[in-house]
């Protein structure tokens, strides 16, 4: 009986979504694969950002003074997010 209940709940929860996905035309455009590619590229960009910050910028001591130039350069690494987003929109999704 619990197995039947599990199957019934699974069919009621996932069935309408799968049927809508299959028969609405989304399956023809490989939308799921594009989401997977975009997520993988996002993880790659975050890894590159982490490596850049860890490699190029020294750790800051709490006793040292605040250096605006160093902090500005650390924040410019966030431009990689914009470059990654542009790549995903133009090459993967577009």
Q: Could you give the dihedral angle defined by the CA atoms of residues 39, 44, 47 and 51, in that order, rounded to the nearest 10 degrees?
A: -160
Backbone angles phi, psi at 36, to 5 degrees: -65, -45
Residue 85 CA: distances (Å) to CA of 9, 41, 92, 93? 38, 9, 10, 10
Provide the pLDDT for residue 94: 61
pLDDT value of residue 25: 67
Task: Kindly report, residue by residue over 13-49, the tens digit of the pLDDT.
Answer: 888 878 877 776 666 677 778 878 888 999 999 999 9
Higher pLDDT, 73 or 29: 73
Q: Give the span between the Cα atoms of 28 and 4, in whole angstroms.
A: 33
Better-scored residue on pLDDT, 93 or 8 = 8
What is the residue range of 71's domain? 2-93
Q: How many domains does the chain have?
A: 1
Please state which of the ranges 4-8, 31-35, 52-56, 83-87 shows the lowest mean pLDDT. Answer: 31-35
As given in the structure block, the two tokens for residue 54 are 């860890």
Mean pLDDT of the chain: 83
Alpha-carbon span 38 to 45, nearest angstrom: 10
Q: b/e per residue, 1-18, with b = 16+ CB within 10 A?
A: eeeeeeeeeeeeeeeeee
What confidence score (pLDDT) does residue 26 get?
62
């Amino acid at each position: 009986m619990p197995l039947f209940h599990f199957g019934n709940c699974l069919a009621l929860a996932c069935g309408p979504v799968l049927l809508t996905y299959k028969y609405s035309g989304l399956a023809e455009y490989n939308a799921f694969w594009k989401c997977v590619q975009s997520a993988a590229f996002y993880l790659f960009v975050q890894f590159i950002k982490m490596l850049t910050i860890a490699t190029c910028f020294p750790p800051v001591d709490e006793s040292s003074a605040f250096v605006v130039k160093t902090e500005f350069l650390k924040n410019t690494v966030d431009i990689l997010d914009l470059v990654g987003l542009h790549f995903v929109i133009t090459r993967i999704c577009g």
